């Protein structure tokens, strides 16, 4: 009986040491899983901080914008809206972008061929032409009937200006947790 107790205690000791070692090894190999909670907490606290930012003409702190800049640059971008596009939606979409960035949009009554600007036209798809043909050319943003809303106009405008979709950024894995089962299978290739 004493021999069985000794063997049982040795077996338990070896099992505990082995399992504890496996657990420590698992923690080291899966440190990213443990850090996800910390990243989420930091992200939530940063979002709460954003709500406290001021937004007036004299003192603008923008989201994801360096607040230490002494000489703030204001960039004016001319834009033209063709007659078959809802100009009120375009104006409102650009006004929202203007409030949140250092960009300023100036509406043009006609397109000047030798200047550069944004041209909003009606099309079959909602797209923006990012190809660089010449420096002095109006960049076309096509607005279809199914995407004639403020969000789509803002998305295509920002895309044309060089902003990258969040899911396409090289550092997306640091900030995004994609749940692929929630993504429509037709759009999965975009992620």
Other Cβ atoms within 10 Å of 94 Cβ, number: 24
pLDDT per residue over 149-161, tens digit each? 899 999 899 888 8
- Apex CA 102: angle with CA 97 and CA 105, to 5°? 55
* Distance between CA atoms of residues 60 and 102, nearest Å: 9
Specify the pLDDT at position 93.
93
Residue 2 has, within 13 A of its CA and on its CB side, a CA count of 0
Tokens of residue 122, six digits: 């009606």
Residue whose entry in the numeric block shows the structure tokens 């901080």: 49
Specify the pLDDT at position 153.
92
Domain 75-168: give its CATH architecture.
Answer: 3-Layer(aba) Sandwich (3.40)
Tell me the whole-structure pTM to 2 decimals: 0.55
* Distance between CA atoms of residues 143 and 81, nearest Å: 10
* Distance between CA atoms of residues 76 and 105, nearest Å: 6
Tokens of residue 175, six digits: 């900030």
Q: Of the given ranges (55-69, 129-143, 172-186), which has the lowest mean pLDDT? A: 55-69
Query: Domain spans of the chain?
Result: 2-51, 75-168
Q: How confident is the model at residue 176 (pLDDT cuts 50, 70, 90)?
A: confident
Catalytic sites, residue numbers: 156
Asked if residues 12 and 147 have their Cβ atoms less than 8 Å apart, the reply is no
Q: How confident is the model at residue 137 (pLDDT cuts 50, 70, 90)?
A: confident
Q: Is the pLDDT of residue 148 over 50?
A: yes
């Amino acid at each position: 009986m004493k021999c069985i107790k000794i063997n049982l205690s040795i077996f338990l000791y070896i099992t505990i040491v082995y399992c504890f070692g496996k657990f420590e090894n698992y923690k080291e190999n899966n440190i990213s899983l443990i850090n996800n909670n910390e990243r989420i907490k930091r992200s939530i606290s940063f979002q709460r901080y954003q709500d406290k930012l001021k937004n007036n003409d004299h003192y603008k702190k923008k989201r994801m914008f360096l607040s230490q800049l002494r000489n703030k640059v204001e960039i004016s971008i001319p834009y033209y809206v063709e007659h078959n596009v809802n100009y009120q939606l375009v104006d409102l979409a650009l006004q929202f972008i203007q409030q949140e960035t250092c960009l300023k949009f100036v509406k043009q009554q006609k397109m000047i061929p030798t200047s550069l600007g944004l041209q909003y036209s009606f099309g079959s798809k909602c797209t923006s032409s990012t190809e660089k043909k010449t420096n002095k050319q109006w960049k076309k943003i096509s607005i279809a009937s199914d995407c004639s809303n403020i969000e789509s106009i803002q998305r295509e405008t920002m895309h044309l200006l060089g902003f990258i979709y969040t899911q396409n950024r090289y550092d997306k894995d640091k900030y995004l947790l994609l749940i692929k089962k929630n993504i429509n299978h037709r759009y999965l290739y975009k992620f």
